[in-house]
């Protein structure tokens, strides 16, 4: 999701504020403050996540590939088990 999953709220929140009788200047200040906090938090989390990935990549080396292999194998096993359960339940 390009917008962090909050896209449906962008259209609903102004309607709720208007229906609740919130004055435009109050809504504008709250909306600007919320947008500033949201964008700062998302950018900071992305920056820290990128820095953490580079650190782990440098420190783990081959362990990274082993971990990735375990994750992929776990997901594949889960998909296989669900498919198997689905086939046995349909007969």
Residue found by looking up tokens 């889960």 in the block: 78
Q: What is the pLDDT of residue 86?
A: 80
Q: What is the pLDDT of residue 89?
A: 62
Report CA torsion sign: 49, 50, 51, 54. Answer: positive
Q: Which of these, 67, 87, 91, 90, lies nearest to 79 by C-alpha position?
A: 87
Q: What is the pLDDT of residue 62?
A: 73
pLDDT in tens, the chain (91 residues): 455 555 667 778 888 888 889 899 999 999 899 889 989 998 998 888 877 777 767 777 777 778 888 999 999 999 999 988 887 765 5
């Amino acid at each position: 999701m390009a917008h962090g999953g909050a896209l449906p709220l962008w259209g609903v929140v102004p309607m709720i504020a208007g229906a609740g009788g919130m004055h435009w200047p109050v809504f504008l200040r709250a909306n600007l403050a919320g947008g500033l906090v949201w964008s700062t938090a998302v950018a900071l989390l992305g920056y820290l996540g990128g820095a953490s990935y580079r650190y782990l990549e440098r420190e783990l080396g081959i362990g990274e590939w082993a971990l990735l292999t375990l994750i992929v194998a776990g997901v594949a096993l889960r998909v296989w088990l669900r498919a198997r359960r689905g086939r046995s339940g349909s007969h």
